[in-house]
Amino acid sequence: MRWRAMTTADLAAVDAIAAKVHPFYPEDASVPAERLELYPDGCRVLDAARRDGIGGAISGYVVSHPWHLGQPPPLNALIGRLPERASTYYIHDLALLPEARGSGAADAIVRQLLRHAAESGLGTVSLVAVNDSVRFWQSYGFDIVDLPELRPKLSSYDSRARLMVREVGAA
């Protein structure tokens, strides 16, 4: 398996994976399509390439982009455009099918995203943790940030959704 750039041809697979991995956090197909259009450098798919190098089935994806720290987009929302002066690198979604878990793919892409954020000159990486993923993200140095003004927005995910932030230079 290898991470490669997402293309528009991958969007149907991304939508299918999202429906399986995040059934309680549905988003219209237009959301990852918009993020791909706005920031293709932050959109990748996990391709189970065959030995001959030809692509196989897609078993995961990540959608990420520069954004405003402390202002995650609500679930299932289009953002229109990226900010001129981003203050964080936002991981919108990371999803792996069960067969890809434990393969090291998540570790590989999180490390790629952290490097990309650093190379982009952004001082933090942020995300909304769902699906009981807080401990996973904590293992990469992310901390929960509790901002009372965000509670209504985070509730668009569910009551356990947590904003998490990591400084780019953190261990």
Q: How much is the pLDDT for 129?
A: 95
60: β partners = 46, 96
Q: How much is the pLDDT for 170?
A: 62
**CATH at residue 143:** 3.40.630.30
Q: For the chain, what is the domain count?
A: 1
When mean pLDDT is compared across 8-22, 26-40, 63-77, 150-164, the lowest value belongs to: 150-164
What separation in angstroms does the CA of 53 have from each of 57, 91, 102, 106?
A: 12, 28, 22, 21
The pTM of the full predicted model, rounded to 2 decimals, is 0.93
Q: How much is the pLDDT for 155?
A: 86
Higher-pLDDT residue of 56 and 47 is 47
pLDDT in tens, 15-30: 999 999 999 999 999 9
Contact (Cβ atoms closer than 8 angstroms) between residue 162 and residue 150: no
Report, as an integer, the average pLDDT of 92-112.
94
Residue 45: give the domain boundaries. Answer: 2-167
Q: Which two tokens stand for residue 139?
A: 């293992």
Q: Which residue has the tokens 């790629």?
A: 112
